[in-house]
Amino acid sequence: MMGLYVANLSFQPATRHHPADVAPRSMFPRPCRVHNRSGRMRCVAAAPSMVDSKTRPGEKKGFVEEMRFAAMRLHTRDQAPKQGQKEAPEQPAEQPLRQWQPTREGYLRFLVESKEVYNTLESIVTDAQHSDYARFQSTGLERSAALAEDIAWMQQEYALPATEPGDDGPGLAYSSLLRELAEKDPPAFLCHFYNIYFAHTAGGRMIGTKVAQMILDSKQLNFYKYDGDYKPMLDGVRQALNDVAEGWTREQKDHCLDETMMSFRYSNGLLQCIAQPQ
C-alpha cells in the first residue's frame, strides 16, 4: 500500500470515532494547553491517570516501540509469525501478493491517490498548527516529489491518460481524516504519520518491487528510492516521536495506539487500487 503494512482489515472510512468524542488532548507536557469546545486555548492541570499501571509491550524501549507492537499485532501469523494475531484476510489488498492481479491503470491510480495523502501529510507538518509538528519537517522520508515523477513517467511510458484523485476515492478520504485529526487530535494524527512513513520503508518497498516485476518490467519507481540510507532518517523520526510522547498522559498514548487499526484500514483502501483488477 502506498508503502504500507499489508494489514487484514476492510476499508470502511465512514465509521470511526470523531475527535470531539474523546477527551481533549494536547501535544504539551502537564500542565498543558488544550482546545475547549469553543476552539480557544485554555490552561488546565492534567487529571490523574485512571489507566491501569501494567507495562505495555515495548514500553521500556520507548513509545515508538509500543507503536510497532500495535502495528505488528494487525498482521497475520503468515506475515509476522511471532507477533501477528489477525485471522485470514478477506479483501484483495489483504491477500498474499502472489494472488494480486495488478494492472498498470490500477497502479497509476494507486500512485495518484497516494500522492494526495503524502501531499496532505507534508502540508500539515509544514504549517505546524501544533508546534511539535515542526519536528517532522524535512525528515528525508517525504514522498510527494518522487510520486509526481513516477506518475509523469507512467503516463508517458505506457500512454496512460492523466488522472486525478477520485472524489470518492481513498486518497481524498484519507486526506480529509488526516486534516481533521491534525487539528483536533494530535496523538491520533501522529499514529497515522508513523504507520504511513515507517511501513513504506518495509512492506511498502517489498510491494513496490513485486508489483514492478509483474507489470513494469522490474522498473524501480522513485517512490521506493531515498536520497541515501533511510535508516538514519527513521531514527530521527523515531526520536522525535518518543520525545513528543513523553509529554502525553498514559490515556493519550493508549489512544494513539488504538488509532492503529484505523490507519491500517485507510491504508488498505489505497492498496485496493492495485490488488484487484480494474
Tell me how far CA of residue 157 lies from CA of 6, 106, 113, in angstroms. 28, 15, 19
In this prediction, residue 177 carries a pLDDT of 99
Segment 115-167, tens digit of pLDDT = 999 999 999 999 999 999 999 999 999 999 999 999 999 999 999 999 999 99
Which position has the higher pLDDT, 183 or 84?
Answer: 183
* pLDDT bracket for residue 82 (50, 70, 90): very low
Closest CA to 212 of 224, 203, 202: 224
Count of CA atoms in the C-beta half-sphere (13 A) of 107: 27
pLDDT grade, residue 53 (50/70/90)? Answer: low
pLDDT above 60 for 59: yes
Confidence band (pLDDT; 50, 70, 90) for 98?
confident
> What pLDDT was estimated at residue 90?
55
Cell numbers that stand for 169 in this block: 476515492
Q: What is the pLDDT of residue 87?
A: 57
Mean pLDDT (the chain) is 82
Q: What is the DSSP letter of 219?
A: P
Q: Which helix (H) or strand (E) covers residue 191, if one does?
A: helix 186-199
pLDDT at 209 over 90: yes
User: Domains in the chain and their CATH numbers?
Assistant: 19-275 (1.20.910.10)
Is the pLDDT at 63 greater than 70? The verdict is: yes
Q: Are 191 and 130 in contact (CB under 8 A)?
A: no
Enter the C-alpha cell of residue 12: 470502511
- Residue among 171, 190, 172 at smallest CA distance from 130: 190
Q: Under 8 Å CB-to-CB from 260, ≥6 apart: which residues?
A: 67, 70, 71, 74, 191, 195
